[in-house]
Structure 1
C-alpha cells in the first residue's frame, strides 16, 4: 500500500523485511542441517578409525594376522574364484594385496559414514550397526584355516570401542536443551541460532548471525516474544570429542603397528644367526656364456629382492627357526616323523639352480625367476619315512604341503620321487630364505608350477591321494597336476619402443623346466621364422637366454617368439588364459622403428 506521496507504506517495508529475514533464516537453517549431516558422517569415520586403531593395538597382543583388515582380506581371498584372483594378479601384479586392503578400508569408510549420518536420528540403531563390524571380523577370523582362539579378540575390541565412540560423538550432534525460557537468552555460543525464527514487530538488532555466533536478544527482528528458540548441537563439545577420538585412534593404530612390527623379532634374530653349511653336493658353476650382455635382458640369476612373489598372505609370516617343526605323516608312513630346523641343517645338503614359474604368469609375463637353492633332497626324506612311489605299489599319490598360514599345496608323489632335484629349500642365492620367500623352509620342485609344488613357510607334509583331498587351488578350479609349459618371452625391445633403424638386438628368455630348451625362433610381421642364438645352458631346470640381430626398417612392426623344448614340442600359437593349468600362446611385441 502506498501513501499520498507515492512512496511504499511502512507496512509494505515491514513485509519485505520479514520476507527477506525469513529467506535468510531458511538459508541458514539449510546450512546448519547440511553441516550437521557432514559432521555426522565425520563422526562415523572417526568411530571406524577408533575401531581399527584399537583392534590393531589388541592384535599386537595376539598376532599380526588377527588384525580385522587382514582377517577379512584373507577371508575374501579364500572365497574369490580363481579367475578373479588371476584378473587381480594380471592387472595389479604384486600390488594386488595392497589394492584389496584399500578396497576393504574404502567399503568400511562408506559404511561408517552411513552409520554416522543415521546416528543423527537413530542413535541406538546406528550404534548397534557397529556390531556388524565385529560380527564380520569374528566370522572372518574363525573362517581362516590357521585361526586361533585369540583371533576373535581384536574385532570384538574394535567393535566395542567403535560403538562407544559413535555414541559419544553423535551425542554431541544431538539437539541441546534451550538455555533459557521463551523470549529469553537463546542458544549459547556452542549452539546454533533458531532454525526458523518468527519475525517480530520490534526494531531491536540481531547481535549474531550464523551458527553459534552469539545470543539473540529478545524483542528484536527474528525473535518472537512468544516463541522458544530451536535447540541445536554442541559444536564445541563435538570438536573436542572428535579431536580426542582422532588422536587416540592414530596413537593406538601407530602403537599397534609398531608392536606388530616387533612381533617377528625372534624370527628375525633366528634367521640372522643361521650360517648355511657348505653343501655336500654343490651346484656347478654357471657356465660362461649363460648370459648375453644385452641391455634390458633379464639376468640369468634373479636377485632375491627382484624375485617375483605371488601368494595369498596379506601379512608375511615370520617364523622362529629355533621353534619351527616339520611333521611328516600320512598313508604309507608307518610312524609320524618330526624334524627341527637343526635336523635339516645337519643333513647332507644339495645346491641347485632352478627356475620357478607361477601359473598366473600370462604369455610374456614377469612371474618367472631363476635362483640358486640349497636344501634337503625331498625324495630322500620321504623314502626314509617309508614312502613308496605309487607306480611301485605305494598307497599315496599326493603329497600335501601345509603352510603356517593355512595354505595347502598338492604335489604328485610320483613326480617328487622320479629323480628330479625336489628340495626342502633352506637357502636362496647364498643366504637363508628371505621371509617373503618362505623362511625357514619351503618346497621347490623343478618342472611344476608353484601352485602344485612351491609351498612356502612349510610346517607339515601329509601323504594322501588326489581322490581323498583337494588342495587350496584345486578347490578353486585349477588343475590337480600342472607341469610347466614351454614358454618364451621378449625382454627387449619393450612394447611400443621406438628403436632406430639398423641393427637392433632382440633378446629374451625361454624355459621348459626339467625338459630344457632346444630352439628359439623369432619372426617379424608374420614373416619367416629366424633361429635365435641360445646362451649356454646351465641345466634343464633353468631358463635360457636367447638373442637375434634384427635389421630393422622404419615403420611399425610386430615381433613374435616361440620356443621348442628338448622333447621336440614347440609352443602352440593357440592363446589360452592361465586357468586351469597355465597360459599358452606366442609372445608378441609391437614397436615403431624411427
Structure 2
C-alpha cells in the first residue's frame, strides 16, 4: 500500500494541473480576462492588509505578483496530491478537495468587476476536468490494488495515461492561448493607432548633467516602473472603451475614444512616483504624457460646490479618490492616451489612464480608467485607503544617489556624485551632498521644463582613501528642505535622506 502512494498522489496532481489547463484555455477562448487562478490571486491582493502588501512590494518589487502566483500554485499542488491520496478511500472522497477549490475559484471570479455568468464557465470546466479525469486515472490503480497479479501491468497503464493526459493538458492550454489571443489583437491595434496631436520628442539636451550612471532624465517606456493590483492586464480595444463622468454634476458626460482624442491634446513632461518607494528606491520615472486635461472636461458640467473629490474606477474595478482641486487647478492632470510619443503600453493603462502631477499614484493614477464620479471624500473610499493608507497623497520631496552605487570602489581624490531629485508640482530649488558628516556641498542641477519633473544633480568632492558615507538632501521651490527623519512609506510616503557607503582607494 505504501509503495503505491506516490502513484495516487501523481494521479491527483496530473488531474489538478489538467483542470487548471482546461479552465485557462476556456477563459482564453471566451476572451475572459481573469482565468480562475488569476482571479484568486487578485482576490488575495485585494484582501491583503496594507502593511503586508507594503512589505511584499518593498522586498519583491515588481515581482511581488509573480511570487504570489507561484505560492498559490505550490499550495494547489499540495491540495492536488491530497486529493489523490483521498481517492484510495473511495471515488467520492477527492470531492472534499475539488469542490472547495472550485468554490474559492468561483467566489474569486464573481467578485471581479462586472462579472457575469459567462465568467463562471472556466470554473465549471476545471471542476469537471478534475472529477472525471481523476476518476479515470485512478481506475487502473484501483484495479491493480484489487488484483495483485495485474498490479504491474495496471501501473504501466496508469503511467502511460498520466503521461498522455499531461501532454494533452499542455496542448489544450497552448491552444487556448493561441485561439484567445486577445492581447495580441489589442497590441496590433495599439501599434497601428495614430493619435492626432501626439508628438515624439527627445528629452531637452540641458536636462542632463552629463554624469554616466545617473538614471536617464526621460525614462523609456520599457523601463518605467510597474505597480498595480492586476495579474492579467485588461486588454481593451480603443473602439470598445468609454468613460462616464457623473455624480455631483448638473450634466453627465460619456466619452468614447474617438471623441476624447478629437479634443485639444496637451503634452507634458511629468514624473510619477509610487507611495511604496523606499528612500533611494527605483519606483519613480519621468515621461512625456499626452492627453486631454481633466479640468477641461469638468468645465461646463456644472460641478456641485459640495464636491471635493473624484472617485476614479478602473476597468478591473480598482478605485481611488482624488482631490477635486488637483484635477481642476493649473496643473496638467490628464486623461492620458500616449506615453513618450506612443500610445500607452497595455501595462500602463492602454487605451486611457489618468495622470495627476504632484500626487502619488494610489490616489490619482488610474490605469484603464472607465469611470469618474464627482463626489465627496465622506462618501468615497479608494482601494488603498481601505487598507490604512492616507486619503490624500501629495508627493513628498525626495532625492536619490545613483553615483556611486552602494559598496562601490572609486579612486581617491575628486569623486563625482550624482542622482535625481523630485517634488512634483512644486519643483526642486537646490540639492546638497554631504560626505562623512562634513559640510553640505551644493550640487549642479540640470534644467527642467516644469516643476512637474524630476531633476538630475551632480557634485564633485575631494575624498581621501578609506571607507566613506555620502548622503543627499533636496530643497523645494517652496523653501521646504527634505527631512532627515526616517519613516516607512506607510501611510503616505517615505521620508529620510538617502545614504550610500563606498570605498576610495
**Structure 2 length as normaliser, TM-score?**
0.96
User: Residue 265 of structure 2 contacts residue 292 of structure 2 at CA under 8 Å; is this kept in 1?
Assistant: yes
2:211 corresponds to 1:289: no
User: Residue 209 of structure 2 contacts residue 444 of structure 2 at CA under 8 Å; is this kept in 1?
Assistant: no
Structure 1 SS opposite 2:33: helix
Pairing partner for 2:186 from 267, 270, 273: 267
User: Residue 283 of structure 1 contacts residue 351 of structure 1 at CA under 8 Å; is this kept in 2?
Assistant: no
**Distance (whole Å) between structure 2 residues aligned to residue 72 and residue 107 of structure 1:** 12
Which residue does the alignment assign to 2:101?
A: 133
What displacement does 1:571 show? 0.9
Which residue does the alignment assign to 2:343?
A: 432
Which residue does the alignment assign to 2:13?
A: 45
**Distance (whole Å) between structure 2 residues aligned to residue 473 and residue 95 of structure 1:** 19
User: Residue 430 of structure 2 contacts residue 443 of structure 2 at CA under 8 Å; is this kept in 1?
Assistant: yes
Pairing partner for 1:255 from 175, 182, 188: 175
What displacement does 1:269 show? 3.7
User: Residue 358 of structure 2 contacts residue 425 of structure 2 at CA under 8 Å; is this kept in 1?
Assistant: yes
Kindly tell me: are residues 146 and 589 of structure 1, through their superposed partners in 2, closer, same or farther at Cα, counting changes over 3 Å? farther
Which residue does the alignment assign to 2:279?
A: 363
Structure 1 segments unaligned to the other structure (5+ residues): 1-32, 180-186, 192-211, 213-232, 389-393
Structure 1 SS opposite 2:139: helix
Which residue does the alignment assign to 1:417?
A: 328
Which residue does the alignment assign to 2:27?
A: 59
Pairing partner for 2:47 from 79, 89, 102: 79
2:467 corresponds to 1:553: no
User: Residue 217 of structure 2 contacts residue 286 of structure 2 at CA under 8 Å; is this kept in 1?
Assistant: yes
Relative contact order: is structure 1 or structure 2 higher (C-alpha 8 Å, sep ≥ 6)?
2
**Distance (whole Å) between structure 1 residues aligned to residue 72 and residue 144 of structure 2:** 36
Pairing partner for 1:300 from 200, 204, 217: 217
User: Residue 127 of structure 1 contacts residue 166 of structure 1 at CA under 8 Å; is this kept in 2?
Assistant: no
Which residue does the alignment assign to 1:382?
A: 298
Which residue does the alignment assign to 2:157?
A: 237
Kindly tell me: are residues 119 and 288 of structure 1, through their superposed partners in 2, closer, same or farther at Cα, counting changes over 3 Å? same
Give matches, 1:13-28, under 5 Å. none
What displacement does 1:240 show? 2.3
Give matches, 1:299-338, under 5 Å. 299-331=216-248, 333-338=249-254
Which residue does the alignment assign to 2:421?
A: 510
**Structure 1 length as normaliser, TM-score?**
0.82
2:197 corresponds to 1:278: yes
Which is greater in Rg?
Answer: 1
Kindly tell me: are residues 283 and 446 of structure 1, through their superposed partners in 2, closer, same or farther at Cα, counting changes over 3 Å? farther
State the Cα RMSD in Å. Answer: 1.8
Pairing partner for 1:92 from 60, 84, 87: 60
Kindly tell me: are residues 283 and 131 of structure 1, through their superposed partners in 2, closer, same or farther at Cα, counting changes over 3 Å? closer
Which residue does the alignment assign to 2:257?
A: 341
What displacement does 1:114 show? 1.5
Structure 1 SS opposite 2:89: coil
Which residue does the alignment assign to 2:386?
A: 475
User: Residue 268 of structure 1 contacts residue 320 of structure 1 at CA under 8 Å; is this kept in 2?
Assistant: no
For this pair of structures, how many residues does the alignment match? 505
**Distance (whole Å) between structure 2 residues aligned to residue 376 and residue 504 of structure 1:** 45
**Distance (whole Å) between structure 1 residues aligned to residue 346 and residue 145 of structure 2:** 60
What displacement does 1:139 show? 0.7
1:384-443 deviation per Cα after TM superposition (whole angstroms, max 9, x unaligned): 32225xxxxx12111111111111111100121121111111111111111111111111
User: Residue 532 of structure 1 contacts residue 547 of structure 1 at CA under 8 Å; is this kept in 2?
Assistant: yes
More divergent stretch after superposition (428-437 vs 284-293):
284-293
**Distance (whole Å) between structure 1 residues aligned to residue 97 and residue 76 of structure 2:** 12
Structure 2 SS opposite 1:469: coil
Structure 2 segments unaligned to the other structure (5+ residues): none
User: Residue 520 of structure 1 contacts residue 531 of structure 1 at CA under 8 Å; is this kept in 2?
Assistant: yes
Which residue does the alignment assign to 1:218?
A: none
